[in-house]
Amino acid sequence: MSQLKYVLTIFIALITIKTASSQEPAGISVKTNLLNLVAKRPSFSIEKTFAQKYGLEVSYSSGELNWGREYKYDGFLLRGKMYANKIESKEVTPFFGIYAGNLNKTIISNNAYVHPTGFLSFGNNRNFKANSIRSGINLGFLYLPSKRFLLETTTGIGYGKYFNMKTFEGRDAPKGYLDFQLWLSVGYRF
């Protein structure tokens, strides 16, 4: 583990020296998805751009929604991006790419009604906890209103497959899900 710390320290030092000695931006962005605040927690992303044309982003998000059921999630994403144009200030730059990651979900709902006779019921009870892997494509737009600040929208669609179902009560256990993402991020570019 000490070798890993040594390598990371050298890597960070080289990036810092490169940034300090260059007039060009380092191509590192730190951002957060504002839409994740609805789920009571911020998200965190860091992106490294190469040649002002390609990007590699790592994101972590977690949250909790309590709209008729308790839904908790957390997971990582790795996105590869290709920008349509060179990234410039005061210009909207479209991009597309692919993503892969994991998502841990917990869904609990106890809102089913069953009439005492058993002939009438509606709603469903659910107790679900599972881990999954997911992948798909993403499209978006990057806008830099100034040299350092950024706004970004990203939409992703893909498929997630459950691989570790811890609990499930209800109908047949699901095998996978449609993975849909909507991000509205603000950030700072170094």
Q: Which residue has the tokens 């597309």?
A: 96
* Mean pLDDT across 53-76: 90
d(CA 165, CA 62): 19
Please tell me the distance from the alpha carbon of residue 121 to that of residue 186, in angstroms, as a whole number. 46
Tell whether the model's pLDDT for residue 5 goes beyond 70: no
Model confidence at 13: pLDDT above 70? no
pLDDT of residue 50 exceeding 80, the answer is yes
More confident residue, 77 or 15: 77
Q: Pairing mode, if any, of strands 113-114 and 92-110? A: unpaired
Is residue 94 within 8 Å of residue 84, measured between CB atoms?
A: yes
Q: How far is residue 139's CA from residue 136's CA, in Å, rounded to a whole number?
A: 10
Extended beta strands in the chain, E state: 28-33, 44-50, 54-66, 70-83, 92-110, 113-114, 121-122, 125-143, 149-169, 176-189
- Rounded Cα–Cα distance for residues 33 and 45 (Å): 8
- What tokens were used for 190? 């170094």
Q: Highest mean pLDDT: which of 90-99, 101-110, 125-134? A: 90-99
Note the pLDDT of residue 159.
97
How high is the mean pLDDT of the chain? 84
The pLDDT of 58-64, averaged and rounded, is 94
